[in-house]
Amino acid sequence: MIISKKSLPFLIPVAVGVIVGVAVLLIKPSTGKKLGDLIYSSGISTEGYSYAVNKAAPSVVNIYVATLKEDYTTPAPNSITSSASGVIMDKHGIIVTNYHVVPSGNEPNKAIFVQTRDGKVMKAFVVGCDRRTDIAVLTVSEDTTLTPITPAKNEPNIGDIALAIGNPNNLGQTVTHGIISAVSRSGSGLLSKDQMNIRQGVQALIQTDAPINQGNSGGALVDTRGNLIGINTASFSGDNTYGIGFAIPVKMVREVMDEILRHGKVERGYLGISDDETTALDSESGVRIGYVDPEGPAFGILKIGDLITKVDGYSVQNVRELIDLVSKSKPNTVMNFEIKREGKVKQEKVTLAEDNTSVD
């Protein structure tokens, strides 16, 4: 084969590129896999989601809560009391699920078991939990290497396709699909193990019409590239209700998980008030107090009927903004409140207590 001199300026860079590429693959083979995934995922057909499922499903586990025998070491026969789902976040066995899935602290005869997609069963332990976001972090008992899920880098948009992967009604791993119906839906966490307040709070939930049935709790909500966008947490149910499910955004999941892994819990301030659940029709903005916890730090300082207009100099338009300010503050923080009481503007200071991370 004869190569003309005119072709050399073009062939030399190509040859150098090939040599460099081969060298990179020899030194770091994982780069080839990432490149292959990128090339393959860029050509995904919009008619199917098998690529996304095959990528994400190995990172979704079945979770079982079982009653132990009298020796507290092994589960009793036919003793599974509940089933749910979880998502592998770290190859060393860190798994995220919902707080309402795990046994209460006053149930020492209950144990958690995790089953991977290939059928392996391992005992799991609670690292920590947070009822405000309905998140629990587990770790498995065995020294094993698991397949962690890939978090999405971008937040989902309304109308995006969403796939829910979990273990509904203990049928085994199941995939359902829908769209992102809304984002930043409020939710204040668990009122009890069986009841969540979706009206207000810290979650900023993703709403989807992908079916989220009992047992899907703690499972993955992924995009069409198989990247995690949220942890499934709840759904509205009723004779006239369909297609309203909620997931905790992956950004919040990772923030809460990291805090739990550092401290064993989420350190969050507690004010001890609730709003009166009304929305003013006039131009007056703020949060009208409807309840004050008699054991909370605001008792005796803030009163029912007070209108909170500013916190530490920041104007408060609604209860969501107030909750965000308080929940992002640490216990023992002194917060300054500007309130309107009986037509007069007053300044009050409250030292935050520590929020309870459980409802046990």
Q: Which residues are catalytic?
A: 100, 134, 217
Cα–Cα distance measured from residue 224 to residue 226, given in angstroms and rounded to the nearest whole number: 5
Cα–Cα distance measured from residue 260 to residue 209, given in angstroms and rounded to the nearest whole number: 30
Cα–Cα distance measured from residue 25 to residue 331, given in angstroms and rounded to the nearest whole number: 50
Cα angle vertex 259, ends 136, 141, to 5°? 50
β-strand partners of 340: 307, 345
β-strand partners of 163: 177, 222
* Those residues with Cβ within 8 angstroms of residue 199's Cβ, 6 or more apart along the chain or in another chain: 186, 187, 188, 277
Instruction: Count Cβ atoms below 10 Å from residue 48 Cβ, excluding itself.
Output: 10
Burial of 153 (0-12, 13-18, 19+ CB in 10 A): exposed
Residue 95 in tokens: 């798994």
| Chain position carrying tokens 């040859």 | 15
Buried b (16+ CB within 10 A) or exposed e, 312-345: eeeebeebbbbbebbbebeeeeebebbbbeeeee
β-strand partners of 112: 65, 124
| Chain position carrying tokens 């069409």 | 224
Task: In the chain, count H helices and then E strands.
Answer: 5, 22
> Pairing state of beta strands 287-292 and 307-311?
antiparallel
* Those residues with Cβ within 8 angstroms of residue 12's Cβ, 6 or more apart along the chain or in another chain: none
User: E strand or H helix at 261, and its extent?
Assistant: helix 250-263
Residue 63 in tokens: 């979770």
Cα–Cα distance measured from residue 100 to residue 134, given in angstroms and rounded to the nearest whole number: 7
